[in-house]
Structure 1
Amino acid sequence: MKRIGRLGRPVARFSVLVALVAGTTVAAASAQAATGVGTRADDGAEIVGESWSADGRQVVVQVRSPAMGETLPVKLILPRGWSFAAARTWPVMMMLQGGGGDTYDTWSRKTDIDTLATAWQVITVFPEAGPHGLYTDYYNKGAFGKPAWETFHTQEVLQLVERAYRANTTRAVAGLSSGGYGAAAYATRNPGMFRYMASYSGLVAIRMPLVRWFVYFSSGDADPSARFGVPFRDERNWEQHDPLYLAANLRGTGVFLSSGYTGLPSPADTVGWTPIQAVEPASAANTSALVLKLRALGIPVTTDFYPLGEHDWVSWQRELHRSWPVMMQAIGATPDAN
């Protein structure tokens, strides 16, 4: 019995040691798993960095993108109860910025979307879109290739958010100004990818007179034909990026379209008139054309056309709140119970 006892104590101590080592290994593995860094998309796009907010509800992800040939930021707002180890997944709300000086975080700086998003069980995604990319893979004289904004957003970003941050494939997309075009373009070019699409003051019929030339010369590129091609000569590519032309592809997708008729200030506006306000009536004409075509096709559409309101954030904040609950319902996102 004594011999057994002498042998038993080392065995017991060894068992405790094994348990401790195993526990440490599991804890280390768990800690290592609590990051999206290293996650890859099908084309090799990779999450190479994360910057978390103190409360763990927001993260700015750095994505090394083959489609773009550079590393770009993507901001996520995560729902209450989210964790890397969660058993469930969440629907996605993708928000697209405008042009000019907008960046991936302009929605957060100019509206109350951070508060709005955290009140719902949804993962809200704000990808960088650059100043002039206009949400397309560049035509580049028929060679396509970089910059490939559509591939970055609809393939790389969405795959990475699903694989690293517990997102699912039930999605909505919304955007303002050039981002309004982006929302309409992505929804029409990728039927079924989004359950709902909202465009606020977007140019959603890019081949309309004058609008075509505004789009062409506003690219900011040394070669303005690089983005969509030469107008009329490369008409097929223009058609395939024109939401009006592709309107039938919105069948089965919820649609919210809004714009101001005049670009003149409402009592709530504080920005003085600038030439950019001329975009607003152009957007209204574009948006009206798309509304008429959708209705002719028997595709339901919700609209909000307003007589006063600048091409500015005061209007877009209001339209965001008008469309948000409908978008959440479309993707099955529920209000936060807490």
Structure 2
Amino acid sequence: MRNGRLKLIVAGLVSSVALLGTTVLAGPAHADPTPAGPLVGVKADDGATVVSTEWNQAENYLIMNIASPAVGQTLPVALLLPQGWTPDTTKKWPTIMMLPGGGGDTYLTWAGATDLRSVAKPWNVIVICPEAGPKGTYTNYFNGGKGGPPQWETFHTQEVRQIVEKAFHGNGQRAVAGLSAGGYGSMIYAARNPGMFKYAASYSGLTSIRLPAVQWAVYYEAGDKDPSARFGVPLVNAKNWQTHDPSYMAKYLKGTGLFVSSGMTGFPSNVSTLGWTPDQTIEAATYLVNQDFVLQLRLNRVPVTTDFYPLGEHAWAEWNVELKKSWPLMMNAIGATQN
């Protein structure tokens, strides 16, 4: 493939994130206030605090709002709760965090755009669907080397995790999965926090940013007012880019179960819903970077389960299929049992 064509495709990988679906789970029509218990007011170690909750007991899901020092905002998180969950139970459950993509995805999109709720219902597991910002951001910002907010990695891996385990009965056996930008998030979180997650899954995720063309595409298409704020300037701040690159950090994924999938061409499959457009080159580009990531895993003798399918768009219909393929693997890794 000519280098110019590769750059065009890679640029499309970032700029076409708007293709992600925006169907969401509607808020509860008859939400029950959460019963009195250790919910509102619970804090993470850095002071992140649950300021409000809304529990739909009939549907068994809860939405909590967390005042996050890491991000500097109050952010929502949806929890799909297992049968038998109550605020005051002493029973604990494994957890899985489902990370959304960019382009308008929110903490509700996973449950609204896929069969996540019916897939999870038979299992004794707490499903965590956090907010991740309008671009699907999964890093603590570099900010010229000064750090500081927004710190999305801290929000997800520390604040949300600690609150769920302190007050919502998570047992410390964890998996993480995500699509597109969230697929990047799942792999980089697992790599940067070895041992935190028993399993990580990426569906059409940006799992490698080693190529200069990919780095510059991310730099210019990230959508931040200062394009260097997220990771710094490519080449100039190479070390920070490396430590936020799943392929460079592949060796730290040893011991974590892994699932990586994407379409090879972006052409429609039998479940496709969008119809092919030139923007679907995003899926073909995702396939290319996933090949680099899988190569780095194998060079480091890190086992991985892959599913690269010839036909399939960068779309929720495809990720719904991949969710169902990977779900039993994730549940087995975290010791989740069926009802």
Q: Name the TM-score class by shorter chain.
A: 0.7 to 0.9
Q: Which moved more, 1:276-285 or 1:296-305?
A: 276-285
Q: Which moved more, 1:186-195 or 1:205-214?
A: 205-214
Q: Specify the alignment match of 1:9 in structure 2.
A: none
- Alignment length (residue pairs): 306
Q: Which moved more, 1:133-142 or 1:304-313?
A: 133-142
Q: Specify the alignment match of 2:36 in structure 1.
A: 32
SS of 2:50's partner is: strand
CA contact (8 A) 1:140 1:226 kept: yes
Q: Specify the alignment match of 1:299 in structure 2.
A: 302
Q: Does 1:46 align with 2:46?
A: no
Deviation at 1:127, TM superposition (A): 0.4
CA contact (8 A) 2:100 2:136 kept: no
Letter in 1 for 2:271: A
Deviation at 1:133, TM superposition (A): 4.7
Letter in 2 for 1:292: L
Structure with higher Rg: it is: 1
Q: Specify the alignment match of 1:78 in structure 2.
A: 81
Letter in 2 for 1:194: F
- Residue 232 of structure 1, aligned match among 216, 224, 235: 235
> 2 CA distance for matches of 1:289 and 1:148?
27
Q: Does 1:251 align with 2:262?
A: no
- Residue 152 of structure 1, aligned match among 150, 155, 171: 155
Q: Does 1:140 align with 2:146?
A: no
> 1 CA distance for matches of 2:110 and 2:312?
18
Q: Does 1:310 align with 2:305?
A: no
CA contact (8 A) 2:50 2:64 kept: yes
Letter in 1 for 2:68: S
SS of 1:202's partner is: coil
SS of 2:43's partner is: coil
Q: Does 1:328 align with 2:334?
A: no
What is the TM-score when the length of structure 1 is the normalising length?
A: 0.88
Q: For residues 78-127 of structure 1, what are the alpha-carbon distances to aligned partners after superposition, in whole Å with 9 as ceiling and x for unaligned? A: 10111222222111100000000100110111101011112100000000
Higher relative contact order (CA 8 A, sep 6+): 2
- % same residue: 56
> 2 CA distance for matches of 1:87 and 1:226?
43
> 2 CA distance for matches of 1:322 and 1:233?
41
CA contact (8 A) 1:134 1:181 kept: no
Letter in 1 for 2:315: D
What is the root-mean-square deviation of aligned Cα atoms in Å?
A: 1.4
Residues 275 and 129 (structure 1), Cα distance of their counterparts in 2 relative to 1, 3 Å cut: farther
> 1 CA distance for matches of 2:137 and 2:69?
18
Q: Does 1:108 align with 2:111?
A: yes
Q: For residues 114-171 of structure 1, what are the alpha-carbon distances to aligned partners after superposition, in whole Å with 9 as ceiling and x for unaligned? A: 1111210000000000122520000000011111100000000000111110112110
Residues 273 and 217 (structure 1), Cα distance of their counterparts in 2 relative to 1, 3 Å cut: farther
Q: Does 1:289 align with 2:292?
A: yes
More helix by share: 1
CA contact (8 A) 2:66 2:76 kept: yes
Structure 1, gaps ≥5 residues long: 1-30
Q: For residues 248-268 of structure 1, what are the alpha-carbon distances to aligned partners after superposition, in whole Å with 9 as ceiling and x for unaligned? A: 001100000001111111132
SS of 1:222's partner is: coil
Residues 97 and 133 (structure 1), Cα distance of their counterparts in 2 relative to 1, 3 Å cut: closer
Q: For residues 155-193 of structure 1, what are the alpha-carbon distances to aligned partners after superposition, in whole Å with 9 as ceiling and x for unaligned? A: 000001111101121100000000000000000000000
CA contact (8 A) 2:103 2:136 kept: no
What is the TM-score when the length of structure 2 is the normalising length?
A: 0.88
Q: Equivalences for 1:265-276 in 2 at 5 Å?
A: 265-276=268-279
CA contact (8 A) 1:132 1:218 kept: no
Q: Specify the alignment match of 2:65 in structure 1.
A: 62
- Residue 217 of structure 2, aligned match among 210, 214, 217: 214
Residues 188 and 276 (structure 1), Cα distance of their counterparts in 2 relative to 1, 3 Å cut: farther
SS of 1:49's partner is: strand
Deviation at 1:56, TM superposition (A): 5.9
> 2 CA distance for matches of 1:265 and 1:210?
27
Q: Which moved more, 1:243-252 or 1:292-301?
A: 292-301
Letter in 1 for 2:263: G
CA contact (8 A) 2:99 2:182 kept: yes
Structure 2, gaps ≥5 residues long: 1-34
